[in-house]
Amino acid sequence: MRVAVVVFPGSNCERDVADVLHDLGAETHLVWHRETDLTGFDGVVLPGGFAHGDALRTGAIARFSPVMAEVARLAAVGAPVLGICNGFQILCEAGLLPGAFIANRDLAFICRFVEVEVADTGTFLTAGTRLGSVLRIPLNSYEGNWVDPTGQGRIVLRYVDDPNGSQAGAAAVASAEGNVVGVMPHPERASDPLLGSDDGLVLLSGFLGAPVPV
């Protein structure tokens, strides 16, 4: 599978996620945010980081990057589109996912492992998991508190212990069709027992269409 990992000015997890996807067998390419053609890519990842320094609101400026028209096109044709952390925030700002993000309830950056429970197995991200399984994955964000005034968002993963006030405990959210998914914790950081967990691999394998069962 050919995967584009988009690099915005201020992205910082692009190489991490590209490396892990590569190890899982994907052909990964880092694509600068000014790229206007993603022809030939089977899926796209918007990685974590601080695109445009989080100026104004997280993701507010990144959503106007030239590459975003192509991300929307891929989403519309049903290709898997995955936003991790800041990538999730960008997808919300771009209207490709419902809701928006505000500061964590306790107004502190949170970097630690959290447990998330699978709430929906109908998306590529969770295709290899079972409903209710619990995964240990690092969270790393200041604005991880998801708000969805419509209450209609499709929640894919929920925090077991609410760390940040996110509505309905949402840790990952999908589009109605299920091919656009945003996840706040970082599956690529749970990719090796040496780093404390490899629970993220089942999610990223799902993205590559090769789910490994848990």
Partner 1 sequence: MKVTVVINRRPEIADPEGTTVRRALHELGFTEVAEVRMDRVIHLDVDDDDQDRVRDRVDVMCSRLLANPVLEDYLVVLG
Partner 2 sequence: MTAVTESVHRRLGMTDDEYEMVVDVLGREPRPAELAMYSVMWSEHCSYKSSRAYLSRFPTSAPWVVVGPGENAGVVDIGDGWLAAIRIESHNHPSFVEPYQGAATGVGGILRDVFTMGARPVALWDQIRFGPLDRPHNRYLFKGVVAGIAGYGNAVGVPTVGGEIEFDVCYEGNPLVNVLCLGVMHRDELVLGTAGEPGSIAVLLGKATGRDGIGGASVLASASFDEAATEKRPSVQVGDPFEEKKLIEACLELYRRHLVVGVQDLGAAGLTCAVSEPAARAGVGITLDLGEVHVREGGMTPPELLMSESQERMMAYVRPEMLEEVLTVAEHWEIESSVVGVVGEGDMVTVRHDGEVVAEVPADSLSGGAPLYHRPVARPDWLDELWESYVPPTVASPAETLLALLSDPSIGSSAWIHEQYDHMLFLNTVVGPGGDGALIRVRGTNKGLAVSTDGNGRLCLLDPRRGAARLVFEAALNVAVAGARPLAVVDNLNFGNPEKPEVMWQLVETVEGISEACEAMGIPVVGGNVSFYNETNDRDVNPTPVVGLLGLADPMPIDPPRLQRARPGMEIWVIGPDPTPNFAGSSLQRLQGAPTGRPTAPRPDVATPMIEDVARLAHVTPVLHDVSDGGLAVAVAEICIASGTGAVVETDDPVWLFGEDPHRVVVIAESGSALPGRRIGRMWAGDLVIGDETLSLETIATTWHRALPDALGV
Catalytic residues: 85, 186, 188
Contact 71, 94 (CB under 8 A): yes
Q: Specify whether the backbone of 95 is left (phi greater than 0), alpha (psi in -120 to 50) or beta.
A: left
Contact with partner 2 (CB under 8 A) among 76, 176, 195, 212: 195
Considering only residues 18 to 37 of the shown chain, the ones binding partner 2 according to CB under 8 A are: 19-20, 32
Phi and psi at 114, nearest 5°, equal: -130, 160
Contact 39, 29 (CB under 8 A): no
Q: Which is nearer to partner 1, 99 or 187 (CB)?
A: 99
Instruction: Return the range that interacts with partner 1 (CB under 8 A); candidates 11-19, 102-110, 114-122, 203-211.
Output: 102-110
**Angle at the Cα of 90 from the Cα atoms of 3 and 203, rounded to 5 degrees:** 45
Binding mask 15-44 for partner 1 (x = CB under 8 A): ------------------------------
Helix/strand/coil percentages in the chain, nearest 5: 25, 30, 45
Q: Which is nearer to partner 1, 20 or 61 (CB)?
A: 61
Q: Which does 120 bind (CB under 5 to 8 A by kind): partner 1, partner 2, none?
A: none
Contact with partner 2 (CB under 8 A) among 25, 37, 76, 109: 109
Contact with partner 1 (CB under 8 A) among 15, 22, 29, 105: 105
Residue 214 sits in the site that holds partner 1 (CB under 8 A): no
What is residue 63's DSSP assignment? G
Instruction: Return the range that interacts with partner 1 (CB under 8 A); candidates 13-21, 54-62, 114-122, 126-134.
Output: 54-62
What is residue 8's DSSP assignment? -
- How many Å apart are CA 197 and CA 150, to the nearest integer? 34
User: CA neighbours within 13 Å on the CB side: how many for 151?
Assistant: 0
Residue pointed to by tokens 């789910």? 211
Rg value, the chain, Cα: 15
Q: Which does 158 bind (CB under 5 to 8 A by kind): partner 2, partner 1, none?
A: none
Contact with partner 1 (CB under 8 A) among 15, 42, 133, 165: 165
Binding site for partner 1 (CB under 8 A): 52-53, 55-57, 60-61, 64, 92-93, 99-100, 102-107, 145, 147, 149, 165
